[in-house]
Structures are given as C-alpha cells and as structure tokens.
Amino acid sequence: MSRYISDALRDFVAKRAMLRCEYCRIHSQSSFFSFHIDHIVSLKHGGLTNTENLAYTCQICNINKGSDIATFLEKPNTPVRFSIQE
Ligand SMILES: [Zn+2]
C-alpha cells in the first residue's frame, strides 16, 4: 500500500475540489496555510491512494480529522462516514 501521492494525482484532487477544502469548503487562497491531500479512509484502516479516497483539505480540517473515518453530526448516536462530494 503506497503512501506516495504523485503530483498529477495531487493536481487532479485539487482541481476536482475547485481548490476548496472538501470538508469545510474554505478556498485555498483564503488560507494562510498550505493545503493537504487527505486519505479519507486512512492507510492504517486499509484506505487506498486513489481518487475515490483522497480529499483536498485545509490544514486545520486535516489535522483535526486525523485518521478518523466518521463523525457525529446532528444525531448523537448516528455516525456519518466521511466521503467526498460528487
Ligand atoms: Zn477545511
């Protein structure tokens, strides 16, 4: 399982996201910090390095998400799995 993300794959993910964080939607030009390419399902949980499992993220979202694969939104006992928007 590869951790390496090629420049072409990084560019594809960034363009698909229209240079906005795929979690909070902030534009990369509005952020002081550089953006990351996040494995939605982390490598340690078996996630792959492919377009379906990569998200363009701001540093704050990526650091706070860590290797989590879901969160709780409005219903406290109903986990919502992270995924990219189509
Ligand atoms: Zn964000």
pLDDT truncated to tens, each residue of the chain (86 aa)? 567 899 999 999 999 999 999 999 999 999 999 999 999 988 888 889 999 999 999 999 999 888 877 777 777 677 777 766 55
Of residues 42, 35, 7, the one with CA closest to residue 20: 35
Say which CATH class 7-81 falls into. mainly alpha
Give the pLDDT score at 85.
56
What is the structure's pLDDT at 69?
Answer: 74
Distance, CA 63 to ligand 1 centroid (Å)? 9
For ligand 1, the distance from its centroid to the CA atom of residue 76, given in whole angstroms, is 22
Classify 70 as helix, strand or coil: strand
Cα of 34 vs centre of ligand 1, distance in Å, is 11
